Amino acid sequence: MSVPVLLTPYQLGPYNIPNRVIMAPLTRRRAGKRNVPKSMMATYYTQRSSAGLIIAEASQISPQGIGYIDTPGIHSGEQIQAWKKVTDSVHEECGKIFLQLWHVGRYSHSLLQPDGQLPVAPSPVRAKGTVNTPEGYKDRETPRALKSEEIPGIVDQYRVAAINAMLAGFDAVEIHGANGYLLDQFLQDGTNHRDDAYGGPVENRARLMLEVTQAVAKVWSSDKVGIRLSPSGIMHDMYDSNPAITFGYLIEQLNALNLCYLHLIEPLEPVDHLKQYLKQVTPHFRKIYKGTLMCNAGFDFDTGNKIINDGNADLVAYGKLFISNPDLVERFRTGAPLRPWDKSTFYTGGERGYIDY
C-alpha cells in the first residue's frame, strides 16, 4: 500500500524533513513580561515536534514591531535565552523549528509603542476597527509614515532579529510578509501612497520586502530563509488594485534568491477582486515560482494530499488542527479522529487550550 504523499520525506533546503505536514505559525499570546517566551511554550512546541517542520509564532523584531499584548519578541537577550529553551527541547525530540520574523506596522497603537509613539507605516492610512491595549480596546490610530531615511533602519531590525534567531537555536527563519503587516503594507497600493523609491510602481513597492529578504539571507544562507505572503490581500483591511501583477512581480523576483520556500495563504472566503484571475492562490503562483511552495489555510488530510499530488504545492501547513491535535501527523498516519479546537482559548494566556490537548 502506497504512503500518502503528505507523510513522505522532503528535502527542504539543507534539511531532510520526515513528512510534509507543517505546523503553521500561530499567534497564541502566551509570552510573559517584556514579551519573553514562557516555559510552557517549550512544552507546547515539543508536543508538536513530529511535524515535518514547526514554524514558530510571529515574533516582533523590535519594540516598534509589536501589535498585540503578550506576543513574544526576538530583540532582547532575555528573549533569546527563553527561546533557546524552546529550540533545545524541540531538538531533543528530533524536530525542526523555524522562527517567523514580524513587524506589524500600522496594525498597532501608541499604547503598545515605545514612549507612546504612533505606529509606523508606509503612508498615513488608518486601518478600520479596534486594537487591544493595556488600557482596553481602542480605535485604531492613523499611523506615522516612515521617512525615507528611516527605512534602512527597518531593514536592519530584520537583520539583527535574524542574528538573534540564530543565537536562540532556530534552524532557520520565515519572513512575515503577509496578513496586512508592515512589509505587506509597503507592497500593496491600498496602503502605500508614497512617492519616493518605496512607492508608486510595483517595483518600488516590492523594494522593502526584497531588501529585507536579502539582508536576512546574508545572515542565514538563503536556503534557510522562507517568506510568507497572502495574495488574497484582504486581511486587516488590505487591498491592492491589481494583485495578480503585484504579487506576480514580487514572486518572480523571489525566484532569483533561491529561498528555502515560499509560503502562500489561501483566501478563507471568496474575494471578489480576485475572481478575475484565480480560484486558488497556490495553483496560480505555482506557474511563476520555481522553488519549494508551501500552502496554508483550510486544508485537511485529503485536500492536502491532493494539492501536492496535483503538482500545485510541495508542503501543506496546518494551523488550528495542530492546536487541538499535537499528534496530528500520527492521526493522519493512522486515520484516528481529529479533536476539535476550542476557539475561546486561542489567546487566553494560560495552559488551558494550549498544552492540555
Task: Give the catalytic positions in this structure.
Answer: 181
CB 101 within 8 A of CB 57: no
Contact 31, 62 (CB under 8 A): no
Q: Which ranges in 93-191 belong to alpha helices (H)?
A: 151-167, 182-187
How do beta strands 97-102 and 136-139 pair?
unpaired
Q: In angstroms, rounded to a whole number, what is the distance separating the alpha carbons of residues 261 and 1?
A: 30
All three cell numbers of 145, joined, read 509614515
Tell me the backbone φ, ψ of residue 268, rounded to 5 degrees. Answer: -85, -10
| Alpha carbons 31 and 70: distance in angstroms, whole number | 5
Residue whose C-alpha cell reads 472566503 in the numeric block: 269
SS3 of residue 256 by DSSP: coil
Whether residue 171 contacts residue 100, with contact meaning beta carbons closer than 8 Å, is answered with: no
